[in-house]
A = this chain, B = another copy of it.
């Protein structure tokens, strides 16, 4: 069915338990859900060309408003026809509000009810981000989907602080919707509430009542125990609007994705597959593989015999390991391609299993296989 913004639609075409498959249509692309969005922070999915990113199955990527706003500048990107023209990405694009990076990267930030003042991490210049400015910048970036500015409380914040952040996020969401919409750009609201189920459900009700094209869950994977996140997702996701896309922001590992898909989430983004690739960690059907480990030195087998990506078809573990030991750029490049291919294949297989009503058993079998193969002592990031 049509979403509030003209040119956008979302259609659920199969359901298996709480999980569902669907199509998200934007003026530029059709995205099968559940879908993983590779992260192209600075208008580049690190080390890869747009063609390669699309070859992993991705039809929507994420770019970071904070980074592009500061460099090369939103007006500069607008003059190139937006991020998609600038970087030559021919499918859909989602931009975040910039708020998350203001909190994690900028210096001397102060937040008040009107917005956030901070200094750029690049040149120390004073900047001001408000709900209105976040929408103005994202309109210039020309993304298909813009995210509202929200406040994400610390993972261990006390309840009162979480409630204050929720109230501010609600007020900002309303202000975002009052701005003049950019043509062809949908807007997603964000639910906060920390790890308190009642706060999450109450904030979800508030945000879901607003005229957003989709609803996102923010403030997950910020330090809380993974089991707690899964527990909350099981309770929250099924309560999210069924007729609009559900987006879990900044998540996650292959396990996180399969758990959240089972709970009914449709969209994900995370730097993990590309960041871990740059550190020599491959994500495979057989678990995590750390190519820097000595055991791969003479291993002429493929990284993952079950993977049909060009990296697994072409190179040995020994060669991939050599590239990392020798600090060759080709290593991060090839592993980024493989990891995104694996994420794309994981989502594709999950959709297939939902359609035939066999998601649950497949998720359990896949997770067992992944966890069994995980190389011990390898950190995730």
Contact = CB atoms under 8 A, between A and B. Distances in A.
Interface stretch (A39-47, A104-112, A163-171, A182-190): A39-47
Contacts of A329: 46-47, 329, 332-333
Interface string A58-70: 0000000001000
Contacts of A315: 88
Contact of A326 (B42, B300, B319, B334): B42
A340 to B, nearest CB: 14
A291 to B, nearest CB: 13
B328 A76 contact: no
A247 to B, nearest CB: 25
A154 interface: no
A307 to B, nearest CB: 17
Interface stretch (A79-87, A91-99, A352-360, A366-374): A79-87
Contacts of A326: 42-44, 67, 71-72
Contact of A323 (B44, B48, B80): B44
Q: How many copies does the complex hold?
A: 2
A326 B63 CA distance: 14
Contacts of A314: 88
B46 A80 contact: no
Nearest to A328: B44
Nearest to A45: B330
A6 B39 CA distance: 53
A48 B80 CA distance: 27
A322 interface: yes
Interface in A314-354: 314-316, 318-319, 322-323, 325-326, 328-330, 332-334
16 contacts: A42-B322, A42-B326, A44-B326, A44-B328, A48-B330, A49-B334, A72-B297, A72-B318, A76-B298, A79-B298, A86-B316, A86-B319, A88-B314, A88-B319, A329-B329, A329-B332
